Every structure is written in structure tokens, then in C-alpha cells.
Amino acid sequence: MPVWHEATKELREEGKLALVGVVQEQHPERCRLWAQWQQIDWPILADPLNLTGLEVVPLAMFVDRHGILRKIGLRRPAELEELLGAEFAAPEQLVENRRDPSDLRALRERAGRGGDLETRMELASGLLLFGGSAERDEAVALLGQLAAQSPDDPRIDFRLGVAHRLRFDAPGQGRAEDLARSLASWESAAAARPRQYIWQRRVQQYGPRMMKPYDFYHWVARARREIEARGETPLSLAARLSEAELAMPKASVLVAEPKDPDPRRELPLDESGSLRISAHQLPAKASPGRSAHLYVLLERDPEAGYTWDPEAGPVTLWLAGHEGLGLAPFGARTTPRSANETGLVLDCDVPVALEAAPGRYEIAASAVYPICAVADGPCLRLRRDFVVTLVVGEKQSRR
Amino acid sequence: MTFFRTLLLALLFPVFSLPVAAQRGGERLAELGFEVGLAYPDIVLPRIDGGAPGSVAEHRGRPVLVLHFASW
């Protein structure tokens, strides 16, 4: 995109061309940081639900001044010059091809009058893109109904995954059900359409390093540095970047935390039951000889009477290893962004030995976390022991 | 080292360009409404800067280069 930005600068300044971006990613705010970094001054529209239906990006299209599509897949500025030099006559009659999911009132009316599947999907999209938290809940419920009614339509699964992830990332949310359903819905959609690369990317974004075609958000650190060097403040990202999204694609596992945070089992156990711990994996069935990405979610009960203590150090996950999986002990760590964060995710790749048989493997795990009791109470480090179940499927044949 | 890197890129290039070529040339784009000679399928979408919802059609009267992409 920076190539087009540079190549069209003069044309845009002279009013001879407009540049419009349509971005296909779950978190458009990340593209906003990218735009700040690249000093982009043209409008960028967000299509996290893949309403365009495009299967690959990047893809450049030329639209003439009458709104007619003239070229798909421009690759070089010279092609653009040629198109700008051509004379395109106005059509005798322009057949509009317009969809407006922002008009929620009109969509509700149409959907209420016995609207078909497309109308109800459009309503769900509008609610997600242009509504608030109540509309987001409504969209999740609506897409869930549509998925149950039309189980063979992977578009619904993909959008349901987007909706659940949006809710998971929203302030005060971070619930296990949303995390689990986003991963499962995307995996289902991507499996149904292997050539839909934008859907595949969503799975790869949250999947293990071995699955990645490239790193997804490794650029963020460099962007922040360069923006700060210009004397600007980098835009903040509302949704935390997971380890999976920062990882470089490699056929090896990154051991984020090589030390057991409580090797002698000296820390007091948290027996309050106020921290809900769940584990989720992507893919849902790991293949022997490959790895799965594991998400361990720590859900803090806001009523429990304590908060995280980010200043006291990271929250650490420790996996004790498993002989049958060929897994050595290792861990992962993260630091809460705020004392009141509800859902805290620790994520890491888990390699599975080539010899591992299909089945469910129980891995002993522990989490160590610094907390503070609310209302001037003590701050201390606690440990919770639990079990992570990793599901292993059949060995994948080499293609 | 450079030779092997060049060789690797040369071998991989057709693999990476296949998906793009498949969509560009395929009937799938036409099914989605992206057909040369017809109106660009205009969808009103949110702007990433939080401004009013926008669309490509707002720019009628000027040629538009539409860039579909992702920051990753």
C-alpha cells in the first residue's frame, strides 16, 4: 500500500484521483496505527465481517468517475496512468449496486417483514458495525440463530466468529464462551472454504507459529518507535495483542517463560474460587508433529474483592509437560493492562510429538498471579493449580 | 546465500501469486458483484478513524483507486 500512497500523491493533491482503502482485519484500530505510521491521509473503511466477500488481499481496483469498475488487480502505477488517460463514457443508465448496513431502522423493518437470510445477515452486520454493546449482543444472538438454521453457510460462521471476538475484546468482557466460540466458528468457516484466504488468515492470526504464512502484528513495535521518533504519540490499541499475533512464523516453538514461577510449591494456593480458569486451543484438534496454540483464560470475578497487581510483575502460566505428548515443561507470561482487567489471556504454542496418539491429554498446569485485596487490603502472590486438556487428532498426511 | 534466497523466491513466487490470480480471473468476483463494466459494488462501512460511515460512491465525479488490504 505504501507504493500506491507514494505513486498517487501528486494526483490526489491535484484532485485528479481519490484513494480509498478497505481493510480486511478483525481490529481496524490496528490499521489506524498503521495509517498513522505510514502517514496515510486518504480514507480507510473497515470490513472486519468480510461483507465484500473478497477472498484475498491486497487487491487494487480502478473505478471511473461514473462509478463503473474498470480494472481489477492493478499491480503497477503505470497501469493506473493508462487508465487515467482513457476516456470512459457515462453509462446510459447506471444500475446501482449499493448496500447500506448503517441504516439500522430500514434493516430492522425489512428483517421484521419476514426478511430472508440475506436481510437478517445484513441486519446482524449493521448491528455489529454501527451499534453499541446492546446491538452487539443482539447481533451475536441473531447470528447464532442463523448459524443453527443454516449450518451449511460458512459466511455465518465467519461472521459469528468476528462477533464473538468483538465481544471478547470489548471493555469489561473477556469471557471464555466468546473466546471459545470465535475460535471454533472461524475454524469451521475456514475448513468449509479452504480457498477463502481472508478467513484462513483469521485462523492463522490466532493459531500456532507453524501455521502462519507471515507475522501478523510484528510491525507494531517498529511503528510505535518510529512514530515516537517523529515526536508524535502512537495511537493506542484497545484490544491486547496476543503472543500468537506477535509471533514470527517458524517451525519451532517459542518458549516465552522457561522457569517455573513456584518450583518448590511455596506460594499460598488461591482457594477462593473467584478466578475462573479455562483453556482453549487452535486448531481444535492438534496434529501430531505440529503444534497447537493454547489460550488459558483467567476470568476475574469483579465482585470477588481483589484486583490484579500489574506493578508487582507478570501473571505466569506453567505447564508441567507430558510424556505422551513429548512435551517438556514450559510456561508463558503476561502483565495485566489494568488492575481491573476482567479476562486475562496467557497464550503459547504447544508442540505435539509426531508419535503422539490421537486422544485427550491432561497436562498439569499452574498459574501464579499477584493480586491486591480491594480497600487497602494486602497484596500477595497466589498460585492456582489446574489441568489443561489438549486434544490431539489424527496425523495429517503430507500434501 | 543470495543465490539460494533468489532461487527460493523464484520457486515460491508462483505459489504465492496463485490465490490472487485465482480470484482475479475467477468467476467468484463476478458472483460478488465485482465485474468490469458494471457499477462498483458499493457498501457503506465504518471509517477506521471513527468518522461518519463512508463508501466508495462518495467520490463519484473523480476516478477512484480502491485498495483492499490488511495491515498484516
Q: What is the model's pLDDT at position A254?
A: 57
Q: Chain B interface, mutation test: which of A19, A55, A92, most B Cβ atoms within 10 Å?
A: A55
The answer to whether A72 and A56 are in contact (CB under 8 A) is no
> Which residues of chain A does B51 touch, with a Cβ-Cβ cutoff of 8 Å?
43
> Which residues of chain B does A27 touch, with a Cβ-Cβ cutoff of 8 Å?
none
The reply to whether B1 touches chain A by the CB within 8 Å rule is no
Please state, rounded to an integer, the average pLDDT across all residues of chain A. Answer: 93
Residues 6 or more apart from A92 whose CB is under 8 A from it?
none
The answer to whether B56 and A49 are in contact (CB under 8 A) is no
Q: What is the model's pLDDT at position A253?
A: 55
Which pLDDT tens digit goes with each residue over A332-384? 999 998 888 889 999 999 999 999 999 999 999 999 999 988 767 788 999 99
What does the block give as the cell for A290?
A: 505440529
Q: What is the model's pLDDT at position B6?
A: 41
Q: What is the model's pLDDT at position A251?
A: 59
Alpha-carbon span A63 to A46, nearest angstrom: 19
pLDDT cut 90: percent of chain A above it: 79
Phi then psi dihedrals of residue A65, to 5 deg: -70, -10
Alpha-carbon span A142 to B39, nearest angstrom: 31
- Mean per-residue pLDDT for A313-318? 93
Alpha-carbon span B65 to A321, nearest angstrom: 53
Alpha-carbon span B72 to A1, nearest angstrom: 11
* Chain B nearest C-alpha distance from A43 (Å): 7
> Cβ separation of B54 and A100 shorter than 8 Å?
no
* Entry pTM: 0.89
* Residue that wins the pLDDT comparison between A366 and B7: A366
Residue B25 has pLDDT above 60, yes or no: no
Alpha-carbon span A156 to A144, nearest angstrom: 8
Shortest CA distance from A245: residue in chain B: B72
Alpha-carbon span A290 to A211, nearest angstrom: 9
Alpha-carbon span A363 to A317, nearest angstrom: 12
Q: Which CA distances in Å does A52 have to A45, A56, A59, A139, A140? A: 12, 11, 12, 19, 20
The DSSP string of A41-83 is -S-EEE-TT-TT---SS-EEEEE-TTSBEEEE---SHHHHHHH
> Which residues of chain B does A68 touch, with a Cβ-Cβ cutoff of 8 Å?
37-40
- Mean per-residue pLDDT for B21-39? 77
Residue B72: closest CA among A31, A231, A282, A296: A31
- Mean per-residue pLDDT for A254-264? 79
Q: What is the model's pLDDT at position B2?
A: 39
Amino acid at A362: E
The reply to whether B65 touches chain A by the CB within 8 Å rule is yes
> Which residues of chain B does A43 touch, with a Cβ-Cβ cutoff of 8 Å?
47, 49, 51, 54
> Cβ separation of A16 and B62 shorter than 8 Å?
yes
Which pLDDT tens digit goes with each residue over A34-65? 999 999 999 999 999 999 999 999 999 999 99
How high is the ipTM of this complex?
Answer: 0.89
Half-sphere exposure at residue A95, Cβ-oriented, CA atoms within 13 angstroms: 4
Containing A92, the helix (H) or strand (E) segment is none
The answer to whether A352 and A326 are in contact (CB under 8 A) is yes
Q: What is the model's pLDDT at position A162?
A: 98
The residue to which cell 446482524 is assigned: A124
Q: Chain B interface, mutation test: which of A59, A162, A222, most B Cβ atoms within 10 Å?
A: A59
The SS3 call for residue A229 is helix
Q: Is the peptide bond before A310 cis (omega within 30 degrees of 0)?
A: no
The SS3 call for residue A269 is strand
Alpha-carbon span A190 to A365, nearest angstrom: 31
Alpha-carbon span A94 to B60, nearest angstrom: 12
Residues 6 or more apart from A150 whose CB is under 8 A from it?
A117, A156
- Mean per-residue pLDDT for A95-102? 91
Shortest CA distance from A128: residue in chain B: B46
Q: What is the model's pLDDT at position B22?
A: 46
The answer to whether A346 and A315 are in contact (CB under 8 A) is yes
Q: What is the model's pLDDT at position A112?
A: 87
> What is the pLDDT confidence band of residue A398, given thresholds at 50, 70 and 90?
low
Which pLDDT tens digit goes with each residue over A112-141? 887 899 999 999 999 999 999 999 999 999
Q: What is the model's pLDDT at position A396?
A: 81
* Chain B nearest C-alpha distance from A169 (Å): 17
What does the block give as the cell for A330?
A: 514450559
> Which residues of chain A does B68 touch, with a Cβ-Cβ cutoff of 8 Å?
21-24, 52, 54, 57-61
Residue A250 has pLDDT above 50, yes or no: yes
Q: What is the model's pLDDT at position B71?
A: 94
Shortest CA distance from B43: residue in chain A: A99
